[in-house]
Structure 1
C-alpha cells in the first residue's frame, strides 16, 4: 500500500482493476477543510488519462511491476517470440501486446518487457535503432543536406521521413519515440 502523500511521477498504483501511472500530482491544502492530492493518472494498458482526487494520507495498493530484458529471436506467424536473457525461457507476444512500436522490432533486438502479474503491460524498445533503408525514391542531382525530405521504408516495414540524399541500402539511426531520422550509421 502507498499513501497519496507519497505520489510522485512514475509511481504505479492499482485502481479500478487496472494499473495506473502517476503523471502529475499536486498537494492542495485549502484554508478551510482538509488537504487533498490532485493527480493525473495514465492507464498503463490503454493509455487513457484521467484526473482523480485523493484525500491526503489515503492509501491505495501499489502495483508491483516486473521488468525483464528479453531478446527477439524469431517471428511465428503474427506473433513475436522473445527469449528471457536471464532464464533463457521463451515467451510469445502478439503484435497487439507490443503496440505500435512493433514496426521497429527486428531479430536479435533486446527489449524490456514490463509485466503486472502474468499480464504484459508494456514493451520498451531502445530509444534509437539502426535499420537499413529498403525502399525510397532516388535522390536528385544537386540535393543538399539542408534540403527537403522524402519517405523511406525500412527493413522492418516502418516508414520515416529522411533527407533527399539517403539511398536504398544505407543504414540509418531512427528515434523510436518520435519516429524521426537521426542520421546515418557509421
Structure 2
C-alpha cells in the first residue's frame, strides 16, 4: 500500500491507522504562529463507525488504502440481511441492512449499487446518485402560491418524507438525490 504524507490527506481517502481502516470525513490544514503546520483530520472507522480526531504533521507517513469497487445487483432482503449478486461472477453475498444507513429506503429490487471491498471484506455500499420514486401523499396545489422558493412536504412510496415544489401532485414520479435526500426533478 502506498504511504502518503500527513499533509496529503484529503476528504474521502481511506487510511490504515492504529490497526483499523478509517475514512477521512473532514480535513483542516492548520498553520499556527508558533511551531510547524499540521493537518487536523476527522476520521470515521469503516468497520464499527466510531469517530477519531487526529493531527498529522507533514513528516508523518500514513498508509493510504485502495478499495476495490464492484457493481452488485440487489436481489432481496431476508432477516435484516440484504442479498446482492455480483454482475460478473453471479456470486451472491449477504450484507447487513445497516450498511446503507439512512439511504436504505431508496434501495429498489434489481437496483445496481457499488460495494467497496478491502481484500474480501465489504466495507461500504453506495446507491446511484439519483433514484426515481412515486409521490404517495402531498398537499393539494394552493392557487396563487407562486413564491420562488416555496416547497411542500410529500411522502414517497418508499416511506421517505421530502420537500417538493408546489406543482408536484400525488401519483407523480420524481427523481430524488440519494446523497442529499432532496427532490431533484420530475421523472
- Is TM (by shorter chain) over 0.5? yes
Match of 2:163 in 1: 161
- Choose which of 18, 38, 50 in structure 2 pairs with 1:16: 18
For residues 163-178 of structure 1, the aligned pairs below 5 Å read 163-178=165-180
Pairwise CA distance, 1:132: 1.3
Q: Name the stretch that deviates more: 123-132 or 41-50.
A: 41-50
Write out per-residue CA displacement over residues 51-74 of structure 1, whole angstroms, 9 at most, x where no aligned residue.
Answer: x22343332333232211111122
Gaps of 5+ in 1: none
Partners of 1:105 and 1:25 lie apart in 2 by: 34
- Kept in 2: contact 1:69–1:85 (CA 8 A): yes
Matched with 1:37 is: 38
For residue 113 of structure 1, report the CA deviation from its aligned partner: 0.7
Give the aligned partner of residue 184 of structure 1. 186
Q: How many residues align?
A: 181
In structure 1, distance between residues paired with 2:178 and 2:146: 22
Give secondary structure in 2 for the equivalent of 1:103. Answer: helix
- 1:137 equivalenced with 2:138 (yes/no): yes
Structure 1 pair 8–38 and aligned structure 2 pair: CA distance change class (3 A):
closer
Counterpart in the other structure of 2:77? 75
1:172 Cα deviation after fit: 0.2
2:60 and 2:29 map into 1 onto residues whose CA distance is 14
The answer on whether the counterparts of 2:139 and 2:153 sit within 8 Å (CA) in structure 1 is no
Instruction: Provide the residue aligned with 1:106 in structure 2.
Output: 108
Unaligned 5+ residue runs, structure 2?
A: none
The alpha carbon displacement at 1:26 in A equals: 3.2
Moved more, 156-165 or 3-12: 3-12
| Distance in 1 separating the partners of 2:130 and 2:144 | 26
Residue 26 of structure 1 corresponds to: 29
